[in-house]
């Protein structure tokens, strides 16, 4: 149980977060990332705005939050990484493969995630130096960063090194220390940018698109997009929350922690929409322009005219890319930490060596992704699938693998390892499990059924 070792509390020899708040910030840091600030407004813009927002909120509450709690329970019960957690609860069974899929998914998501995060570093520099003045050719500037092999790989390497440096410090002195500084900074930047955006002339139309639902726009595809977005955004389905949960003290309450992390992540996604939509409508642009184009090409083209000129755009733009880089860093750290926890727990590799080995591996895997936005033609538009390599990896690992992982996690906790064992772990601190019955019903029935339907849709849309 909890013991004091040289002033730093550990639990059965495992590191723990310094406090419940430290854990909530770290987990929210994992969840809040490119997926919120760029992904959410993109997917919402392409799927009808307000109608999507409502479906998304439902998905987060009824599917995301219960899976989040299930992952935290698995982690804190076993005090292990995703592979170790399944090994501990279902020894020598095929369930261990769910953990294995999680670790593999972690390495791959880390690889392409840091490519995009690398662009944000390049863009901080570009905005601060006034590259995006009125009339700047933002498409050419983007091609110059993402389409230039040296720039793309160089910035990617820089971001990976920063990620490794944070993970190097470990749970308390690395992840916790940095998220405690970065998350408040992120919140302040976000609120300031949102205030600037909603007070732009013409922002009203953006707010209407974002908050006035048109239910005729809700289709199976919209529901699918919303749930997929929710898993990625909440860092679910690959054991990131198993790993972070394994550092939670037995004294802390898991239910309220899961609720806080979910609420944080969702609020920040909604706030990001408050920055993007008013700004797009201010410029008379379509909200459906998504992907790399939306942030790196479209948004930047507005910087030149954001009041007060001439510095409004420089300040707004620098703040925006700094925000994006910070959000990405606390997420990439969590992705690397999952894999590092696996190597240190299961293979007893020292943390420093594990961080360099796995960060290095992800860096190498990422090279084709870094070259997939113009630098190498066939990688930028793969034969047969027609996607660029980065988007292709995102589809397989950022969507399918997470949905499949979440399905098995809910089946395992709901039916195999069991609701009552899970309930015991929740009650270990104060004997209480608020909403325990509701959670059991959601994790046993609602989550698996919904996820199977989503998978069916995914496969159908792939074939059809
Ligand atoms: N949730 C992060 C985002 O929204 C990305 C991320 C970090 C992630 N860790 C994860 C996604 C684990 C899935 C699984 O950008």
Residue 25 Cα to ligand 1 middle (Å)? 14
Structural domains of the chain sorted by starting position, each given as residue range(s) with its CATH number in brackets: 2-463 (1.10.4160.10)
In this structure, which residue's CA is closest to atom 12 in ligand 1?
Answer: 235
In this structure, which residue's CA is closest to atom 10 in ligand 1?
Answer: 235
pLDDT in tens, 152-166: 999 999 999 999 999
How many whole angstroms separate alpha carbon 43 and alpha carbon 31? 17
Tell me what pLDDT residue 4 has: 40
Is 1's pLDDT higher than 60?
no
Please indicate whether residue 325, judged by its CB atom, sits closer than 6 Å to ligand 1: no
Please indicate whether residue 331, judged by its CB atom, sits closer than 6 Å to ligand 1: yes
pLDDT in tens, 25-81: 999 999 999 999 989 998 998 888 999 999 999 999 999 999 999 999 999 999 999
Q: Which atom of ligand 1 is nearest to the CA of 331?
A: 7
Mean pLDDT throughout 84-104? 98
Tell me what pLDDT residue 9 has: 57
For residue 381, what is the DSSP state?
S
In this structure, which residue's CA is closest to atom 13 in ligand 1?
Answer: 235
Q: Which atom of ligand 1 is nearest to the CA of 238?
A: 14
Tell me what pLDDT residue 6 has: 37
Please indicate whether residue 31, judged by its CB atom, sits closer than 6 Å to ligand 1: yes
How many whole angstroms separate alpha carbon 335 and alpha carbon 359? 10
- The 3-class SS string of 392-450 reads HHHHHHHHHHHHHHHHHHHHHHHHHCCHHHHHHHHHCCCCCCCCHHHHHHHHHHHHHHH
Is 85's pLDDT higher than 60?
yes
Please indicate whether residue 30, judged by its CB atom, sits closer than 6 Å to ligand 1: yes
> In terms of Cα–Cα distance, which of 425, 463, 446 is closest to 71?
425
Please indicate whether residue 327, judged by its CB atom, sits closer than 6 Å to ligand 1: no
Residue 113 Cα to ligand 1 middle (Å)? 9
Mean pLDDT throughout 102-118? 98
Query: Max CA-CA distance within the chain?
Result: 65
Is 298's pLDDT higher than 90?
no
- 421 pLDDT band (50/70/90 cuts)? very high
Q: Which atom of ligand 1 is nearest to the CA of 265?
A: 4
Tell me what pLDDT residue 218 has: 86
How many whole angstroms separate alpha carbon 18 and alpha carbon 11? 12
**pTM for the complete prediction?**
0.94
């Amino acid at each position: 149980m909890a013991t004091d070792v040289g002033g730093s509390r550990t639990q059965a020899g495992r590191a723990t977060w310094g406090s419940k708040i430290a854990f909530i910030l770290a987990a929210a840091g994992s969840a809040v990332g490119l997926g919120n600030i760029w992904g959410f407004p993109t997917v919402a813009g392409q799927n009808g705005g307000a109608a999507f927002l409502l479906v998304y909120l439902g998905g987060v509450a009824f599917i995301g939050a219960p899976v989040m709690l299930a992952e935290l329970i698995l982690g804190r019960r076993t005090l292990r990484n995703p592979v170790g957690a399944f090994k501990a609860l279902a020894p020598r069974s095929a369930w261990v493969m769910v953990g294995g899929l999680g670790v593999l998914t972690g390495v791959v998501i880390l690889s392409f995630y840091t490519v995009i995060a690398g662009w944000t570093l390049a863009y901080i520099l570009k905005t601060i130096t006034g590259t995006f003045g009125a009339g700047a050719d933002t498409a050419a500037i983007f091609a110059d960063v993402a389409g230039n092999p040296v720039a793309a790989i160089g910035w990617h390497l820089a971001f990976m090194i920063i990620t490794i440096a944070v993970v190097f410090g470990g749970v308390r002195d690395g992840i916790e220390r940095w998220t405690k500084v970065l998350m408040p900074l992120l919140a302040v930047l976000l609120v300031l940018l949102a205030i600037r955006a909603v007070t732009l002339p013409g922002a009203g139309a953006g707010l209407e698109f974002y908050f006035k639902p048109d239910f005729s726009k809700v289709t199976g595809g919209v529901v699918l997009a919303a749930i997929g977005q929710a898993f990625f955004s909440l860092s679910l389905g690959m054991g990131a929350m198993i790993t972070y949960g394994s550092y939670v003290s037995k004294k802390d309450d898991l239910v309220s922690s899961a609720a806080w992390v979910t609420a944080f992540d969702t609020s920040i996604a909604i706030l990001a929409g408050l920055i993007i939509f008013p700004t797009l409508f201010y410029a008379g642009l379509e909200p459906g322009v998504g992907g790399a184009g939306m942030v790196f090409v479209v948004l930047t083209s507005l910087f030149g005219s954001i009041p007060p000129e001439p510095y409004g755009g420089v300040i707004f733009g620098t703040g925006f890319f700094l925000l994006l880089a910070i959000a990405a860093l606390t997420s990439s750290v969590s992705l690397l930490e999952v894999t590092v926890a696996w190597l240190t727990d299961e293979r007893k590799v020292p943390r420093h060596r594990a961080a360099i080995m796995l960060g290095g591996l992800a860096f190498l895997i990422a090279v084709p992704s870094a070259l997939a936005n113009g630098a190498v033609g066939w990688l930028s538009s793969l034969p047969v699938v027609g996607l660029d390599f980065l988007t292709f990896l995102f589809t397989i690992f950022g969507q399918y693998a997470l949905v499949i992982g979440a399905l098995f996690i809910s089946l395992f906790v709901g039916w195999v390892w069991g609701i009552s064992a899970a309930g015991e772990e929740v009650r270990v601190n104060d004997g209480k499990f608020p909403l325990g019955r509701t959670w059991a019903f959601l994790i046993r029935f609602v989550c698996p059924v919904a996820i199977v339907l989503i998978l069916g849709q995914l496969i159908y849309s792939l074939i059809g």
